[in-house]
């Protein structure tokens, strides 16, 4: 296929209109500008009563997954839930105990419970017990070295419906070491505690592998985690940040380093943190520090190269059109393409995981939006439990493969070899994509 030397759809214009037309918080009825979302309403959101820790139990990480684990659940605070304990499954080593810390969970009467254990042995299976209960769960620490072979899964835009559960079930069957959910988890919109709890209940129930091991969850933020969707404040992510601020303590972006072999760089596509400015400055230094990692993966919610929405600025009608303003600034992903993609290309990012458009998509390796064997592949596009029809590769030449199916991606890392298998809810393989070693730099 011939690819135009420079496509107009990768350009944007009318930048000065961005603030006026941005999807988010508009002016108030009294005409006064509203720069930030108002604080959450002082109502108590209804959640299921009688939650036990096992109802919403899930694992995540705040630091190196080869030697740590963070145990979390939501529910009423009880005196007998003050500690957790872990022990290796196959040795005589004794139990290690960790204190449970609790904190508010948005506008609810239940609390987030969190305990972190450090100093664990890499590549080891552990037993886990909570409080005084003898109910025992199991989990694994990540392998120690890049030469180990392991599988993990990624996807986004889940919700709480039957397809989200179906994709949970096929994901768990792959025995992944962890799941990366790239935004739009339960669709709580920063307002529905019940939805957030239902998402956790589904994850806790179904994201257990065939050998009975819990599958840790890593996330990045999406628009449906934040009241208003975009340009919110931290308190607008009322049911997301209380769960994940162990990793996102001060910012809503960050990096998670697995030993010396895998780094996940997790970004915020404008939901709480602006794409340009401080986040881009941080990204520049974070990628520079990690450019020699054997596996360097970025995840963000809104795609740089969308498969459903348009990357082009949309024409304007109505009053703005009558004023002679003919084009909206802000095709989907234009800020990513302006600020982030050049950094992905410069620092040898091996793949970018994108979401939000509710399709299966894989782009060609891209440099500056053009097909380039030295470029960066973008995998997505967020159809764990939501679905839309994708645009065709004929209409979007950056697309290499698309599909309209609920899916997640199975990533298998074997030393320097990477396989990315798009697996549909039905078990059908939609796509297999492989890369080896570090992406060679463009010559000349
Ligand atoms: Fe989204």
Please report whether residue 436 resides in a domain.
yes
For 192, the domain range is 6-53+146-443
Please report whether residue 230 resides in a domain.
yes
pLDDT exceeds cutoff 80 at 33: no
Whole-angstrom Cα distance, residue 167 to residue 165? 5
Report pLDDT digits (tens) over 263-310. Answer: 999 999 999 999 999 999 999 999 999 999 999 999 999 999 999 999
Whole-angstrom Cα distance, residue 114 to residue 305? 36
pLDDT value, residue 29:
40
- Two tokens, residue 411: 């990533």
Residues 6+ apart with CB under 8 A from 7: 369, 397
Length of the chain, in residues: 444
Whole-angstrom Cα distance, residue 10 to residue 7? 6
Exposed/middle/buried for 97, CB within 10 Å: 0-12, 13-18, 19+? middle
Ramachandran angles phi, psi of 386, nearest 5°: -130, 150
Please report whether residue 377 resides in a domain.
yes
Cα-to-centroid distance, 356 and ligand 1 (Å) = 4
Cα-to-centroid distance, 122 and ligand 1 (Å) = 34
Structurally, how many domains does the chain consist of? 1
Please report whether residue 272 resides in a domain.
yes
Q: What band does 208 get if pLDDT is binned at 50, 70 and 90?
A: very high
Cα-to-centroid distance, 84 and ligand 1 (Å) = 35
Cα-to-centroid distance, 303 and ligand 1 (Å) = 9
Q: Are strands 136-140 and 149-155 parallel, antiparallel or unpaired?
A: unpaired
- Alpha carbon dihedral 225, 231, 234, 236, in 10-degree steps, equals -50
pLDDT exceeds cutoff 80 at 225: yes
Whole-angstrom Cα distance, residue 381 to residue 311? 14
Out of 2-6, 121-125, 198-202, 336-340, least confident range:
2-6
Cα-to-centroid distance, 195 and ligand 1 (Å) = 16
Report pLDDT digits (tens) over 238-256. Answer: 999 999 999 999 999 999 9
pLDDT exceeds cutoff 80 at 352: yes
Whole-angstrom Cα distance, residue 272 to residue 225? 10
Percent of the chain exceeding pLDDT 70 equals 86
* pTM of structure: 0.88
Which CATH number is 282's domain given? 3.60.21.10
Cα-to-centroid distance, 315 and ligand 1 (Å) = 22
Please report whether residue 246 resides in a domain.
yes
The CB density around residue 135, as the number of other CB atoms within 10 Å, is 12
Classify residue 428 by its DSSP letter: -
Q: If you average pLDDT over every residue of the chain, what do you get?
A: 88
Please report whether residue 345 resides in a domain.
yes
Please report whether residue 65 resides in a domain.
no
Cα-to-centroid distance, 187 and ligand 1 (Å) = 9
Cα-to-centroid distance, 87 and ligand 1 (Å) = 39
Helix or strand (DSSP H, E) at 342: helix 341-346
Whole-angstrom Cα distance, residue 195 to residue 386? 15
Please report whether residue 433 resides in a domain.
yes
Cβ burial 214-237 (10 Å sphere, 16+ → b, else e): bbbbbbbbbbbbbbbbbbbebbbb
418 and 411 Cβ atoms separated by less than 8 Å: yes
Cα-to-centroid distance, 156 and ligand 1 (Å) = 8
Cα-to-centroid distance, 184 and ligand 1 (Å) = 6
Q: What band does 108 get if pLDDT is binned at 50, 70 and 90?
A: very high
Cα-to-centroid distance, 86 and ligand 1 (Å) = 36
Cα-to-centroid distance, 358 and ligand 1 (Å) = 8
């Amino acid at each position: 296929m011939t690819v135009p030397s420079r496509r107009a759809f990768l350009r944007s214009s009318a930048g000065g209109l961005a603030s006026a037309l941005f999807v988010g918080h508009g002016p108030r009825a009294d005409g006064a500008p509203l720069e930030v979302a108002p604080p959450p309403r002082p109502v108590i959101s209804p959640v299921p009563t009688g939650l036990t820790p096992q109802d919403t139990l899930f694992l995540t990480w705040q630091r190196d997954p080869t030697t740590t684990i963070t145990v979390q659940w939501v529910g009423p605070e009880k005196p007998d839930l003050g500690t957790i304990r872990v022990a290796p499954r196959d040795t005589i080593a004794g139990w290690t105990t960790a204190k449970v810390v609790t904190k508010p969970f948005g506008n609810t009467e239940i609390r987030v419970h969190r305990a972190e254990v450090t100093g664990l042995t890499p590549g080891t299976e552990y037993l886990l017990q909570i409080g005084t209960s003898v109910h025992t769960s199991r989990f694994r620490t990540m392998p120690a070295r890049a030469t180990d072979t392991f599988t993990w899964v990624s996807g986004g835009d889940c919700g709480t419906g039957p397809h989200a559960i179906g994709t949970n079930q096929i994901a768990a069957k792959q025995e992944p070491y962890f799941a990366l959910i790239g935004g739009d988890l339960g669709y709580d919109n920063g307002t529905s505690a019940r939805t957030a709890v239902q998402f956790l209940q589904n994850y806790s129930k179904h994201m257990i592998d065939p050998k009975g091991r819990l599958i840790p969850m890593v996330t990045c933020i999406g628009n449906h985690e934040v009241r208003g969707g975009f340009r919110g404040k931290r308190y607008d992510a009322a049911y997301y940040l209380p769960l994940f601020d162990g990793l996102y303590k001060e910012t809503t972006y960050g990096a998670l380093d697995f030993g010396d072999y895998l780094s996940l760089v997790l970004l915020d596509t404008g939901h709480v943190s602006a794409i340009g400015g401080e986040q881009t400055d941080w990204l520049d230094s974070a990628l520079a520090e990690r450019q020699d990692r054997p596996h360097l993966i970025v995840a963000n919610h809104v795609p740089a190269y969308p498969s459903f929405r348009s990357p082009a600025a949309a024409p304007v009608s109505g009053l703005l059109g009558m004023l002679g303003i003919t084009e909206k600034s802000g095709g989907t992903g234009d800020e990513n393409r302006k600020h982030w993609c050049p950094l992905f290309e410069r620092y040898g990012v091996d793949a970018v995981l994108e979401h939000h458009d509710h399709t299966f998509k894989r782009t060609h390796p891209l440099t500056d939006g053009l097909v380039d064997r030295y470029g960066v592949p973008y995998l997505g596009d967020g159809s764990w439990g939501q679905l839309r029809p994708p645009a065709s590769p004929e209409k979007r030449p950056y697309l290499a493969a698309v599909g309209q199916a609920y899916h997640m991606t199975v990533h298998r890392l074997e030393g320097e070899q990477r396989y990315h298998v798009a697996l549909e809810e039905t078990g059908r393989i939609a796509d297999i994509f492989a890369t080896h070693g570090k992406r060679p730099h463009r010559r000349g």
